[in-house]
Amino acid sequence: MRNRISCSAQELNQLDADMIQSVVGGTVFEEGQQYFSTQRVKILDADQTQITSEVTGVYGVYTQTIKLRAGTLSTRCSCPSTEQPFCRHCVAVLLHQFHNGSPLKPSAKDNYKDPAPPSDPRGRTGAPQAEESAGAGDLNFWEAILFIDWIQKAVGLLGKEATLPPVPDSLGGVAREWVGVVERLNSQCLEGEEDRMDALRSLRSAEGMVENLTKKLECLKEEAEVAQQNCRVLEKKVQQLQKSLAELSKSSN
């Protein structure tokens, strides 16, 4: 979901809670505030005019791209929400930005991971969510299975849809990070395509304006030629009147 609205702020961290609430309304704002207060926001990259982030929602992790350029606030989220003018996840990100300043970097808490439990030499069996990765860069069997299943569903949507298939809650570790990378790349691809389409629409609009102005100019030229012809006719009449007055003056003498 992508939206654009006019914005008077110059930097994203100038958007305070009252400003955000006045735009999105109470219900969406309250949901976004709850996401922010429960620390569901993870900032991937940010500066004064752009943020890339992830928010853990009810059904998975969603990716956001928020930009503030030339008086326009542009928001994109991979969630399926129809909330307008932008969703609760973007609200949570903007609140995080306001309270934490700019530029934002992931906090130590965001990067913290529970240490892996000691291995059991007797072996373990259980549900996929019970499996733990041996290290930050390792991928266990169940994570691999879940990730392959997810990516097979997502392949047909890459570069076409903003919303990719929901990520299983039990998928974690490095596989979850890979999902985030795929979602960000998909978001950037769509954003680039939409920017290209926006540029094409602007170009077509400009071409239409030029065409209309050209037609008006042609009309003005025609009107100017008619006016010039009328002026020449009037000049002749004035000359005739002057000649008639001169003859009358001579005859009266």
Structural domain ending residue among the three candidates 108, 131, 160:
108
Residue 129 has pLDDT above 50, yes or no: no
Is 240 a domain residue? Answer: no
Report pLDDT for 101.
67
Q: How far apart are CA 96 and CA 33, in angstroms?
A: 9
Using only C-alpha atoms, what is the Rg of the chain? Answer: 33
Is 235 a domain residue? Answer: no
Structural domain boundaries, residue 59: 1-108
Residues 63, 155, single domain; the answer is no
Stretch 105-117: mean pLDDT: 40
Stretch 85-107: mean pLDDT: 78
Is 117 a domain residue? Answer: no
Banded pLDDT at 154 (limits 50, 70, 90)? confident
Residues 168, 84, single domain; the answer is no
Name 140's Cβ contacts closer than 8 Å, sequence gap at least 6. Answer: 131, 132, 133, 134, 173
Is 126 a domain residue? Answer: no
Among 99-103, 132-136, 152-156, 173-177, which range has the highest average pLDDT?
Answer: 152-156
Taking only the tens place, the pLDDT of each residue in 199-229 is 677 777 777 777 887 888 888 888 888 888 9
Is 114 a domain residue? Answer: no
Residues 7, 87, single domain; the answer is yes
Residues 12, 58, single domain; the answer is yes
DSSP string, the chain: -EEEEE---SSGGG--HHHHHHHH-HHHHHHHHHHHHTT-EEEEEE-SSEEEEEEE-SSSEEEEEEEEETTEEEEEESS----SSS-HHHHHHHHHHHHH-SS----HHHH--PPPPPP-TT-----GGG---SSTT---HHHHHHHHHHHHHHGGGTTT-S-PPPPPTT--HHHHHHHHHHHHHHHHHHHHHHHHHHHHHHHHHHHHHHHHHHHHHHHHHHHHHHHHHHHHHHHHHHHHHHHHHHHHHHHH-
Top-confidence residue, 98 or 2: 98
Residues 88, 173, single domain; the answer is no
Number of separate domains in the chain: 2
Residues 103, 1, single domain; the answer is yes
Q: How far apart are CA 176 and CA 113, in angstroms?
A: 13
Taking only the tens place, the pLDDT of each residue in 62-91 is 999 999 887 889 999 988 888 889 999 999
Residues 102, 167, single domain; the answer is no
Residues 73, 151, single domain; the answer is no
Report pLDDT for 6.
84
Q: What are phi and psi of 129, to 5 degrees?
A: -70, -10
Taking only the tens place, the pLDDT of each residue in 158-200 is 877 777 888 888 777 777 778 878 887 877 777 776 677 776 7
Is 5 a domain residue? Answer: yes
Residues 66, 151, single domain; the answer is no
Report pLDDT for 251.
78
Structural domain ending residue among the three candidates 66, 86, 108:
108
Is 28 a domain residue? Answer: yes
Residues 95, 164, single domain; the answer is no
Is 241 a domain residue? Answer: no
Stretch 143-164: mean pLDDT: 81
Report pLDDT for 82.
85
Report pLDDT for 242.
87
